[in-house]
């Protein structure tokens, strides 16, 4: 098959936004993250250069230059490109710098947030960035969760989760019921339709959101969607996996949005993979160690009530975690998955007949390349393409095995898929014609990968020649 393209990978990011300034720090850099990717059949990844609200991050060009310097420190086993996360709507920056990002860096996608206090944009700000992106043929990616609903459910008054001391990791899910994602997806679609802007919803985790997206696609709108392995393989029950619902070790399973309450959402998402609701299948690899003050343990160390009172000196972090509940609000949101993405979908999708091998290739390689301006160099087996390939074991050629973290090559001290059974794994990964992973042995080197400049999306802008009534959509803003 064509080598996997993972369009949603977080590496070398600092998320130190907690009240005490500790917060999260990605466990994987470009070397360890790409090493893990290639051992799971991925030959291209797109990661995130992240703007903050700090004044020194006003310039998107400086943000990208600083992030690229992090990539160059270690190099990458596989080819890579960047998205840019935009958290400000500075008009002068958007007007002056977006064309340069496209021309100089080949960055043709940006990600916008509808939640997280330090990152979310208000509706008018979303429109500002969407319009600027549209004018530069930049794909707009949306993290769709209603931040106000989350804050309301989480707060102290009246009788919300925090005031009821419902702060253990499990309650992360209760703070984000599926309607939180569904409402935000619907609102983002309305905003995008207003100015006729194509959008891509990242990490869709619920049938509530998938149904909204499908309805928009049926109306001919240029709306695309991505889902991820956690939403097909985990549920709220996994937030109770370790010992009890209040055990802090359950923080290992915290990601946003959370997986669905039960397996019914998984069934609906598989239908979405089958019928085209989902354009791509990515990992949302967002790795935080468990036993690390800048990892999941920040949920305790940033929570003042947990670190006051009983002395904590001399305790290891896991010992501290057995004594303290912490706060789900302060746990860095994200789980590792860049290496397990393809094997999970192959084992639970292709091997079971839930999706065809052709659909697997479409979701994991061809559509990602087309959506993000890399086709046909990537995502295809054609003359002139890069000879990125993944070769699987023949049916029955690999004895089924249960996954442990020791099988994996990331820099994380756990996997959320521990104990799951796999019946296949990439036998060979070939990047630009060179075998870089073969029969369980890593053969590539950290600087084999190259930075990729990308073109615009090749998946279209909606129904061709379908002109909207300017009384119903603000098409006239394109002339400003």
Residue 17 has pLDDT above 70, yes or no: no
Total domain count for the chain?
Answer: 1
Whether pLDDT at 465 is above 60: no
Band of pLDDT at residue 464, cut at 50, 70 and 90? low
- In a domain? residue 473: no
Q: Determine the average pLDDT of the residues in 134-141.
A: 97
Arithmetic mean of pLDDT over the chain:
94
Do 123 and 187 touch, CB atoms closer than 8 A?
yes
- Do the domain assignments include residue 148? yes
Q: What is the mean pLDDT of residues 408-416?
A: 98
The whole-number average pLDDT for the span 392-419 is 97
Which residues, including other chains, have CB under 8 Å from residue 104's CB and lie 6 or more apart? none
The answer to whether 397 and 422 are in contact (CB under 8 A) is: no
In a domain, 127, yes or no: yes
Do the Cβ atoms of 184 and 145 come closer than 8 Å?
Answer: yes
Handedness of CA 393, 395, 397, 398 (dihedral sign): positive
Cα–Cα distance measured from residue 205 to residue 184, given in angstroms and rounded to the nearest whole number: 13
pLDDT tens profile 226-262 = 999 999 999 999 999 988 888 999 999 999 999 999 9
Q: How far apart are the first and last CA of the chain?
A: 46
Q: Which tokens in the block code for residue 441?
A: 């042995």
User: In three state form, how does the secondary structure of 46-113 look?
Assistant: EEEEECCCCHHHCCHHHHHHHHHHHHHHHCCCCEEEEEEECCCCCHHHHHHHHHHHHHHHCCCEEEEE
pLDDT at 194: 94
* pTM for the whole structure: 0.96
Structure tokens at 272: 């979405």
Q: What is the pLDDT of residues 210-220, one digit of tens each?
A: 999 999 999 99
Kindly state the tokens that stand for 378: 């990537």
Q: Which secondary-structure segment (H or E) carries 224?
A: strand 223-227
Q: Is residue 55 part of a domain?
A: yes
Q: Domain containing 278 — which CATH number? A: 3.20.20.140
pLDDT digits 0-9 by tens, 150-174: 999 998 766 689 888 899 999 999 9
Residue 475 in any domain: the answer is no
pLDDT at position 114 is 97
* 362 has pLDDT over 60: yes
Residue-level pLDDT at 18: 67
Residue 466, pLDDT score: 62
Task: With cut-offs at 50, 70 and 90, classify the pLDDT of residue 23.
Answer: confident
Residue 122 falls within a domain, yes or no?
yes
* pLDDT higher than threshold 90 for residue 77: yes
Sequence-separated (6 or more) residues with CB below 8 Å from residue 167: 161, 303, 325, 326, 327, 328, 329
Q: What average pLDDT does range 290-315 have in this prediction?
A: 84
Residue 474, in any domain of the structure: no
Contact partners, residue 146, CB within 8 Å, separation at least 6: 114, 115, 180, 181, 183, 184, 187
Q: Is 157 inside a domain boundary?
A: yes
123-135 and 178-194 helices, crossing angle to 10°: 50
The residue-averaged pLDDT of 362-380 equals 98
| pLDDT over threshold 90, residue 323 | no
Look at residue 183 in the predicted model and tell me its pLDDT: 98
Alpha-carbon distance of 362 to 133, in angstroms, equals: 26
Six token digits for residue 20? 């005490």
Predicted pLDDT of residue 15: 80
Identify the pLDDT of residue 22: 77
Helix extents (H) in 315-366: 317-323, 341-345, 357-361
pLDDT of residue 460: 79
Q: At what angle do helices 263-275 and 207-218 cross, to 10 degrees?
A: 20
Residue-number span of the structural domain to which 227 is assigned: 4-442
Beta-carbon contacts of residue 188 (< 8 Å; ≥ 6 apart): 114, 126, 142, 144, 199, 201
Q: How much is the CA Rg of the chain, to the nearest whole Å?
A: 22
Residue 234 DSSP SS3? coil
Q: What is residue 463's predicted lDDT score, i.e. its pLDDT?
A: 65
Whether the CB-CB separation of 319 and 161 falls below 8 Å is answered with no
Helix%, strand%, coil% for the chain, nearest 5: 35, 15, 50
Q: What is the mean pLDDT of residues 192-208?
A: 96
pLDDT average, residue stretch 273-295: 96
What average pLDDT does the segment 379-389 reach?
Answer: 97
């Amino acid at each position: 098959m064509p080598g996997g393209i993972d369009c949603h990978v977080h590496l070398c990011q600092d998320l130190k936004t907690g009240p005490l300034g500790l917060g999260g720090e990605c466990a994987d850099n470009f070397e360890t993250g790409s090493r893990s990717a290639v051992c799971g059949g991925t030959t291209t990844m797109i990661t995130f250069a992240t703007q903050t609200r700090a004044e020194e991050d006003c310039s998107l060009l400086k943000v990208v230059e600083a992030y690229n310097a992090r990539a160059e420190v270690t190099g990458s086993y596989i080819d890579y490109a960047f998205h840019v996360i935009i958290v400000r709507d500075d008009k002068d920056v958007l007007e002056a710098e977006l064309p340069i990002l496209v021309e100089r860096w080949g960055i043709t996608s940006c990600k916008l947030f509808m939640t997280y206090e330090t990152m979310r944009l208000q509706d008018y700000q979303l429109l500002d960035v969407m319009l600027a992106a549209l004018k530069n043929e930049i794909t707009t990616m949306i993290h769709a969760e209603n931040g106000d609903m989350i804050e309301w459910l989480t707060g102290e008054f009246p009788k919300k989760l925090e005031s009821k001391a419902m702060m253990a990791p499990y309650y992360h899910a209760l703070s984000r019921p599926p309607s939180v994602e569904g409402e935000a997806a619907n609102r983002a679609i309305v905003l995008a339709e207003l100015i006729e802007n194509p959008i891509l919803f990242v990490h869709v985790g619920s049938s509530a959101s998938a149904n909204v997206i499908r309805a928009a696609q049926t109306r001919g709108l240029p709306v695309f969607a991505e889902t991820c392995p956690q939403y097909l393989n985990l549920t709220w029950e996994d937030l109770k996996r370790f010992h009890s619902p209040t055990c802090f070790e359950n923080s290992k399973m915290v990601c946003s949005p959370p997986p669905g309450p039960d397996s019914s959402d998984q069934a609906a998402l598989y239908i979405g993979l089958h019928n085209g609701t989902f354009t791509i299948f990515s990992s949302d690899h967002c790795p935080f160690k468990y036993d690390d003050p800048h990892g999941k343990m920040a949920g305790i160390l940033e929570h003042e009530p947990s670190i006051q009172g009983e002395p904590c000196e001399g305790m290891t972090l896991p010992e501290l975690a057995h004594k303290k509940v912490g706060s789900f609000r302060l746990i860095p949101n994200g789980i590792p998955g860049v290496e397990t993405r393809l094997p999970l979908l192959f084992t639970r999708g292709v091997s079971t007949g839930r999706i065809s091998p052709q659909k697997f290739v479409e979701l994991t390689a061809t559509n990602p390349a087309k959506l993000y301006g890399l086709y046909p160099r990537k995502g295809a087996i054609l003359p002139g393409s890069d000879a990125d390939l993944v070769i699987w074991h023949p049916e029955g050629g690999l004895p089924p095995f249960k996954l442990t973290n020791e099988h994996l090559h990331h820099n994380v001290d756990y996997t959320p898929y521990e104990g799951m059974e796999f019946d296949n794994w990439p036998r060979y990964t070939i990047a630009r014609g060179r075998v870089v992973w073969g029969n369980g042995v890593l053969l590539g080197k950290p600087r084999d990968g190259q930075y990729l400049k990308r073109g615009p999306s090749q998946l279209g802008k909606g129904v061709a020649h379908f002109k909207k009534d300017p009384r119903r959509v603000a098409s006239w803003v394109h002339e400003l």
